[in-house]
Chains A and B, each alone.
Chain A
Amino acid sequence: MSLALLDRQSERSSQTRLAVVDCDIHPTFRSEQDILPYLPARWREHMLQYRRNVRQGLHGTLTHPRMQVNRVDAVTPDGGPPGSDVEFMRTHHLDTNNVEWGLLQALQPAAHAERNLEFGAALASANNDWQIAQWIDKEPRLRGGIQVTQEYPEAAVREIERRARDRRFVQVSLSPRAVEPLGRSRYWPIYEACERNNLPLGLHVPGFGSGFASTPAGWPSFYLEEHQSFAYIIMGVFTSMVLEGVFERFKGLKLVLVEGGFGWVPPLCWRLDKHWEKMRGEVPHLKRPPSEYIREHIWFTTQPMEEPERPDDLVRVIEWIGWDRLLFSTDYPHWDFDDPKTVFQIKLTQEQKRMIFSENAKRVYELS
């Protein structure tokens, strides 16, 4: 069968297939040098001479070597890193999986983790220009996240204000591995700017950042453990933002938690509500049980999807959270990619599919 025929067939079948909004796609540098053209001369020289100053022992690699960071089949035709070529991503992922909108989570160059705050702000801004020039201008289905450095709220607010009217950006991206829990007031100017500009706040788990151990038990030995910590990191941020009263204060703030899973949400909410009953004297600024804020302000992306031993338990988890709170994501091109065709081991109704794969995200991000 010729490739042209295959293409026509997939085109036909895509008309009946569900359109997908993928809330977690990683655009990748071919090399660290890719950011240089987008940096001012002063910071370009700094980068070439001093490189990055981060809070971990290894400068250029993650704390735990991963199996494959990426899908082996996502290597670009000319041998480049997966996720580094917009043309290839278009056919390999966006067309193949019928992605109507793809939200970029541009984790490099990890501006949030830079200890030199002015440099961090310059890196974040350069990253935003790179997203536009290399990705969104070339592929209209892609949308960006305004990268900001949460440890430098003044610069973060400036960057948000500068980009907010550009509808090619649909959210503000912060790192959940901050030096203080994200509910604390030093970060509130950022939330105020999100609310003012009606931009959801997206928190994607990064490989490094605060310098604190990735788990409250200390640094784990294995990537197997480190992978579990993505959930703990998001759980900690979630708890902090709710208990510090962020959602009492910023009633219009929308928070999207990316790549932290969602199976933990019901039990954590039960635990929060139960112990809040006894210790509410410590948090008098909270007017309602913690779980109520969550149902109004927080959404969760689906990957890595929990796979219960009894598949139907997933239905119970989602019913508790709400079918309207989940936003589908693949994590393309990372190795733990969730395939929209196979990821749900439960039977969803057409309505549930439409909500999770598309409508919820369109509503949260006002995509059109």
Chain B
Amino acid sequence: MRIPFAGAIDCDVHVTVPGLAVLVPYLDTYWRERVRVQQLERLDLTLTSYPPTAPLSGRADWRPEKGPPGSDLALLQREALDKFQLRYAILNCLWGSQALFAEDMAAALCRAANDWVASEWLDRDPRLRASIMVPAQNPELAAAEIERRASDPRFVQVLVLAGLDLPLGRRLYWPMFRSAAEHGLPVAIHAGSAYRHPPSASGWPSFLLEDYVSNTQLFAAQLASLVSEGLFAKFPTLKIVLVESGFTWLPAFAWKFNKTWRGVRMEVPWVAKPPFDIIREHVRFTLQPVDAPNETTTLNDAIAQLGSDALLLFSSDFPHWQFEAADVLPEGLSDQLLKKILVDNPLATYPRLKETVA
């Protein structure tokens, strides 16, 4: 169904860096020289998880005449901001800086991309907000990038890719989470992987479809890691947003996680209550893709199994292809739940949105 009222907050809209060339003005002298000498502009830094030409990566009517999906502001304004009558849309930039091995280069490209997002997108439409892309390859550098960009209130969260070098709860990553928590910024974990590890414990699947579906296991593993390592005991105010993760898999995962925890909790004494309770307190999920049948009973059952109406944040996933026409919402949700998903939950999750609303 369509959105029934104006003023929704879209928590997952994609912008794409069309090529390294656009970032050159935002690089410092040293990196400009590196780009020139190494001819880095020729590099294609799109992620394997999102080939720009794949059906998933851009809905047919949301592809610009030239450039990759997500590279055209006018299209975004017309098809998402205006059509969905959004109050805000949070831009998530998925780009290869997260998959590089050289962490200094990753940091330089994240810096430049964030500055490019600020001046090419945020400055040009007051409804836009953005996520700070960070070089998670080196959590100290990631923390430094958070510090650098946090003063701009239009950046409302930190963004990392779901598949990185290590499970994200590992304490090595805590400097990044500390910095996010100190600035009141949720950390968004977005579908897709740098492919340091194959999408399955039996190696590399054949198909993009398989990779995409298997994001479920990747997200589940990250949640298991974040909880088990004690991240939320260490940073009690921290919020995590799983983006483009789907959510109907969560209950079955959390039931089993709770059951195992009851048996082995001695191993993780800092996990002092059932993991599902911790997840409900600290973790949020964007709406699209809604992985459920097109009938309302099953979807409502699945949502009831979440055990809270505070977990879902509205998202269109523009320009990714998750639904047809303007039917960005699944059928059959109550008015009360819709208001939570479209407005209340995003405002509660992103303190910086509330500040600007007030």
Contact = CB atoms under 8 A, between A and B. Distances in A.
Interface string A196-218: 00000000000001101111111
Given A178-B202, A212-B201, A217-B225, A263 B255 contact: yes
Interface in A207-231: 209-210, 212-225, 227-229, 231
A332 to B, nearest CB: 16
A67 interface: yes
B251 A231 contact: no
Interface in A171-213: 176-184, 209-210, 212-213
A216 B251 contact: no
Contact of A279 (B56, B165, B193): B56
A267 interface: yes
Contacts of B169: 221
B202 A215 contact: no
Nearest to A242: B210
Interface in B263-280: 263-268, 271, 276
A100 interface: no
B54 A225 contact: no
A216 B264 contact: no
Given A220-B221, A279-B55, A261 B252 contact: yes
Contacts of B253: 228, 231, 263-264
Nearest to B301: A316
B251 A275 contact: no
Contacts of B321: 278
B45 interface: no
Interface stretch (B88-96, B112-120, B289-297): B289-297
A218 B166 contact: yes
Interface in B150-200: 162-170, 193, 196-200
Interface stretch (B72-80, B211-219, B333-341, B348-356): B211-219
B228 A225 contact: yes
A240 B202 contact: yes
Interface in A325-356: 335-336
A133 interface: no
B196 A218 contact: yes
Interface in B45-70: 54-56
Given A220-B224, A307-B258, A274 B201 contact: no
A281 interface: yes
A135 to B, nearest CB: 28
Nearest to A210: B202
A237 B202 contact: yes
B205 to A, nearest CB: 5
A67 B167 contact: no
Contact of B198 (A212, A227, A274): A212
A306 interface: yes
Contacts of A218: 164-167, 196-197, 221
Contact of B205 (A181, A281, A308, A316): A181
A221 B228 contact: yes
A202 B167 CA distance: 30
B128 to A, nearest CB: 27
A264 B224 contact: no
Contacts of A310: 305
A212 B197 contact: yes
Contacts of A222: 228-229, 264, 267-268
A217 B222 contact: yes
Contacts of A309: 255, 258, 276, 305, 307
A222 B265 CA distance: 10
B307 A282 contact: no
Interface of A: 66-67, 176-184, 209-210, 212-225, 227-229, 231-233, 235-237, 239-240, 243-244, 261, 263-264, 266-268, 270-276, 278-279, 281-283, 304, 306-310, 313, 316-317, 320, 335-336
Interface of B: 54-56, 162-170, 193, 196-210, 212-214, 216-218, 220-222, 224-225, 228-229, 246, 248-249, 251-253, 255-261, 263-268, 271, 276, 289, 291-293, 298, 301-302, 305, 307, 321
- Which 4 interchain pairs have the tightest Cβ spacing? A236-B200, A263-B252, A215-B221, A232-B217
